Amino acid sequence: MFAGAKCGTTIVIDISVQNPYDWSMARPREFEFDRGEALKRALAVFWEKGYEAASTDDLVRAMGIGRQSLYDTFGDKHQLYLETLRLYDTNSGAAFFKRIYETPSPFVAICDYLLSIADGTCADRARGCFFVNATSELAPSDPDVAEVIRAGSALCEAAFERILREAKQSGEVDRSVDERVGARFLLATIRGLRVSAQAGVGPDDLRAIATLALSSLTPR
């Protein structure tokens, strides 16, 4: 197996021919991947299929990694799901409130957002909101998911409450509206519209529902 020459009791090994295989090439490529990109791809799988229907094979195939890399980096499927849910909550929340606060009237921007849920393709409406999907599928039976939902919802409600308070002062919202209740009402309306869109309610009906809901907040 080794090339060498015997000198007394000493064996001299010629390492240049010991093994021509380059061991630096033996490291699996799956160990080198973009964690953030892999997480985004996992999110897309969970969003499309849901938690239960998304298999580990689906996930590793989409993420471009092996099973062991998934376990070593993200833990199990459940931990991976929680991380994608937090990622979605952070990114979508930041984008939503950036859109809201960059307008002259945050309340009007919220109204426009509710009405826009009716827009988009049938596929977009059928896919729904990943956060709302998680609420329906797992939150009732999964305390970890429920906690992520609760924390995200609390932040959203607090922001809505501030916006409603300011809108009351500017005359955009009726002064009789309780800001806290109104904030929860807005969040519940958004979720209800998302679920209705997934269930196949048409764009015209979705807009009519949104319009009716918003009319309960505006001055009479």
pLDDT digits (tens, 9 = 90+) for 102-114: 999 999 999 999 9
Query: What are the domain boundaries of the chain?
Result: 32-75, 85-220
Confidence at residue 33, expressed as pLDDT on a 0 to 100 scale: 74
Look up residue 69 and give its two tokens.
């890399």
Confidence at residue 53, expressed as pLDDT on a 0 to 100 scale: 97
Record the pTM.
0.81
What dotted CATH number matches 85-220? 1.10.357.10
Any idea which fold 32-75 has? Arc Repressor Mutant, subunit A (1.10.10)
Q: In angstroms, rounded to a whole number, what is the distance separating the alpha carbons of residues 210 and 119? A: 12
Average of pLDDT values for 82-87? 97
pLDDT tens for each residue of 128-148: 999 999 999 999 999 999 999
